Chains A and B, each alone.
Chain A
Amino acid sequence: MIRRLIVGCCAGLALSGIVVADGVAPDAVEIENLAIATPLTSTVGNAEEGKKIFANRKLGNCLACHANSDMADQLFHGEVGPSLDGAGTRWQPEILRTIVVNAKAIFPETVMPGFYSLDVGADVRKDLIGKTILSAQQVEDVVAYLETLK
């Protein structure tokens, strides 16, 4: 609860980043006080799409590392990260956005990939150089979905 208030207090300071047609460029995303206050795109995130991206092995593949009771119908849930039950209660949307964009901004040593970050590992596969795992809109969709996990 306290966190919600604090984030609320600081979020207003971070209204920056240039929104282009398909969203803010990954290297222009501004993280302030751990929050990304402005959505990456002008289209509001779609939680239903976000749910699909969350489970899709080629996209979010979040289930590889996280358990999620909302997806009890899926056979295998990972254990590398914490369960995401209640993530939408624990975290402000602005923080969830940061976690998905680049979790290292909050957990510096984490093994969680940055889904909208160019701060990647060495020897990136040639066809993926300069590309992010998710698009700006997909990040917004995933964040919208995470917000539903109460």
Chain B
Amino acid sequence: MNYSRFIAAGLGVAITTTFVAATVVAGPVEDTLVIDDEIEIITRAPSSEGHPLPEVISGWHYRTDSTRAMEADSFANGGMLGVEQGAALWSTVEGSEGKSCESCHQDAATSMAGVGAIYPKWHEESGRPMNIELRINACRVDNMGAEPYKFDKGGQKPLTAFIKHQSLGEPVKVNLEEGEMQKWWEAGKELYYKRTGQLNLSCASCHELNNGKHIRADHLSQGNVNGFPTYRLKQGNLISLHNRFRGCIRDTRAEFPDAFSDDLMALEVYTTWRGQGLSVETPAVRQ
């Protein structure tokens, strides 16, 4: 390491900050994910055009051996309990119309196959992108005469996990051509690089510049969203994407936006695009 650079800097010469970390950085683990010896999961993929990183890598590669093994076995995956709850909700009649999801959509294994892989998606009627959570609420209100779920409440997490799970293994793809999706992508990108809070960090500070490194005990991943809702061992529960976003923003010591606000929807569009090509892993297991 040539520290004399900084002496030059001290004298007002241009500053170059090329630091070589002294520690050996672990990086993502070499491994392949096949769930129940059957469903092959794409956990590394070439990135979309315009992506700053050469390859997109699932958060699965950054977890410990035991956490990765849990995701490979649906009996060991605690998130599957939530998926089962979601399956029960699918067939539960609610609201003034006396209908369940199943009344209209029948077998989710058929009607919802591949759906979770292409959300968020432009929704003409509301003039904004819609994620699975908002889609469920729209059906509850418009088609069932039921109350919308409040954020993270009622059946929102299990039903979202159940629907996304019908796309397990499908590569994520978001359509930016429809409606004003491009604009939302741009707004999301701006937020991704915006430094927030007293700690003055952006999503990119951790997930782009430093993925593969440890921040204290946490092994930083690229922050991809293909596994949500994820099963977090720390909470022993399903964690929604917007909850994760809010947590990461809060950790910079900033005020954080509401779930499903324009800001977090834009961030969802943009981060989903960043992880395009990775398989849906819902419910992924994370620490």
Contact = CB atoms under 8 A, between A and B. Distances in A.
A121 B15 contact: no
Contacts of B66: none
Nearest to B25: A79
Contacts of B256: 123
A110 interface: yes
A132 B147 CA distance: 44
Interface string A42-79: 00000000000000010001011101000000011111
A106 interface: yes
Given A120-B200, A124-B253, A108 B17 contact: yes
A64 B25 CA distance: 14
Interface band, chain B: 35 or more
B266 to A, nearest CB: 15
B10 A3 contact: yes
B11 A124 contact: no
Interface stretch (B46-54, B213-221, B240-248): B213-221
Interface band, chain A: 35 or more
Nearest to A34: B10
A66 B19 CA distance: 13
B196 interface: yes
Given A3-B4, A113-B198, A133-B198, A125 B255 contact: yes
B213 A121 contact: no
B7 A3 contact: yes
A3 B250 CA distance: 39
A115 to B, nearest CB: 10
Contacts of B202: 121
A109 interface: yes
Describe A's contact surface by its main secondary structure: loop
Contacts of B255: 123-126
Given A3-B3, A81-B21, A128 B9 contact: no
Contacts of A3: 3-4, 6-7, 10
Contacts of A78: 213-216
A21 interface: no
A6 interface: yes
Contact of A82 (B10, B12, B20, B210): B20
A124 B10 contact: no
Contact of A121 (B3, B200, B216): B200
Given A3-B4, A75-B217, A80-B210, A121 B254 contact: yes
Nearest to A10: B10
B225 to A, nearest CB: 21
A113 to B, nearest CB: 5
Nearest to B201: A111
3 tightest A-B CB contacts, nearest first: A83-B22, A76-B217, A121-B195
10 contacts: A33-B11, A61-B216, A76-B214, A83-B21, A108-B17, A109-B17, A113-B199, A121-B196, A121-B202, A124-B253
Interface of B: 1, 3-4, 6-7, 9-12, 15, 17, 19-23, 25, 194-202, 205-206, 209-210, 213-217, 220, 250, 252-256
Given A6-B10, A78-B216, 15 more contacts: A2-B7, A76-B216, A78-B213, A78-B215, A79-B25, A81-B19, A82-B1, A82-B20, A82-B22, A111-B205, A114-B200, A125-B250, A128-B198, A133-B198, A133-B199
